[in-house]
Amino acid sequence: MNKIINAKILCVLYDDPVGGYPTNYARDDIPKLDTYPDGQTLPTPNDIDYTPGTLLGSVSGELGLRKFLEDRGHTLVVTSDKDGSKSVFERELVDADVVISQPFWPAYLTAERIAKARKLKLAITAGIGSDHVDLQAAIDNKITVCEITYSNSISVSEHVLMMILALVRNYIPSYKWVIKGGWNIADCVSRSYDVEGMNIGSVAAGRIGLAVLKRLKPFDVKLHYTDKHRLPYEIEKELSLTFHESVESMVKVCDVVTINCPLHPETEHMFDEEMISKMKRGAYLVNTARGKICDRDAIARALDNGHLAGYAGDVWFPQPAPNDHPWRTMSNHAMTPHTSGTSLSAQSRYAAGTREILECWFESKPIRNEYLIVDEGKLAGAGAHSYSEGNVTGGSNEAEKFKTTN
């Protein structure tokens, strides 16, 4: 097959730090990894044009792609302006061959946008989670959709543990008393408990969910999970896992529930008023999967009326969340912007994976099966295992409100 020449690559990344792109970093290097826990090798591009451990995910970082692309005669357009009909993304999309976006600052590829992008053949998620693409429209238009499977799964699992501990131990309010100059021990501990002995359940036990369960095991907790793909008996025995056939069955017995499943039509708004009502009073909910798996207003009400003791996550819908999003101000939350999967360590991996995919595509070589979500008009690879056909981008246009309120 012929090589692809003179392609236009449109890359949407989040803004640089408010103080400017960094000239130095807190650490001089990051650990070097060769394989992921399941034996899958890390991305293997022919070369990289960046220093691992640097800020690659913002506009100035460009995922380390500019030299690689321009040396081969391709055009790279990088922007953070992604929302609304007058955005740079909308304007440049019409003749783009490739779109690269991140889950943290997603360029929503709706059916309407795909219809305008007559040349679009490849959509790459720099990270994991391709729900910001209308997968049904990609299937119908035979657009290949890829993500860098496993590149930041462990990053997210570490974030989950941090958030569980932050909620249960009431860390954030305690920290705020220090900032205020106080020594208010009673105020700090009046909502603080031990994780030890609690029942903790994971919605899904894929790469992230299983990593979370493994990391929770040393805390002497009782572990539960539910997944449409049940784990092997050996793993259940090793981790002392209790399997549940349904989410409803699991949440009834859990003190902490962590959501680790992809967003697709079957999981959209899974945690609605009815599901939350089945959870124990005083349970904690941690969501680093996707914001739209939870009903926005039902979560806020459950915190305000005390049915949930706390909610933590770094995923919202849409992203970025408008200033009036109720999760910014609801009671007893520990929200962050979508940062769990874009640590400097993770950026190095998903930047390398993005280049690996582009190298394959330009040379008309097969893309790793693990990276495929949609290919040749159907779900494929990781997509066939984890997603369902359909679209969950509805309502993403509200992300434009962030531009008008900031």
Q: Which of 319, 332, 347, 391 is catalytic?
A: 319
**152 carries an active-site annotation:** yes
335, 320 Cβ separation under 8 angstroms: no
Task: Please tell me the distance from the alpha carbon of residue 331 to that of residue 190, in angstroms, as a whole number.
Answer: 15
**Which amino acid is residue 326, in one-letter code?**
P
Cβ atoms 254, 244 nearer than 8 A: no
| CB-based burial label for 406 (10 Å; 0-12, 13-18, 19+) | exposed
Q: How far apart are CA 365 and CA 2, in angstroms?
A: 10
Catalytic residue among 224, 244, 338, 368: 338
With a CB cutoff of 8 Å and minimum separation 6, the contacts of 269 are: 292, 293, 294, 295
Q: How far apart are CA 270 and CA 73, in angstroms?
A: 46
Q: How many other CB atoms are there within 10 angstroms of residue 220's CB atom?
A: 11
Q: Is 332 a catalytic residue?
A: no
- The secondary element (H helix, E strand) that includes residue 203 is strand 199-203
Among candidate residues 102, 152, 287, 391, the one labeled active-site is 152
Reported as type and span, the H/E element at residue 361 is helix 344-362
Q: What is the largest CA-CA distance in the chain?
A: 70
Bridge partners of residue 335, in order along the sequence: 313
Q: Active-site residue 290, yes or no?
A: yes
Question: How does strand 256-259 pair with strand 283-287?
Answer: parallel
Cα separations in angstroms, 280 against 193, 284, 285: 16, 9, 11
φ/ψ (deg, to 5) at 371: -85, -15
* Measured CA distances, 231 to 241, 342, 382, 392 (Å): 10, 28, 17, 27
**Which runs of consecutive H residues, i.e. helices, occur in 190-342?**
207-216, 233-239, 247-251, 273-277, 296-304
In angstroms, how far is CA 52 from the centroid of its own chain?
Answer: 21
Residue count (the chain): 406
* Residue in 74, 224, 244, 290 annotated catalytic: 290
Query: What residues are labeled active site?
Result: 152, 290, 319, 338
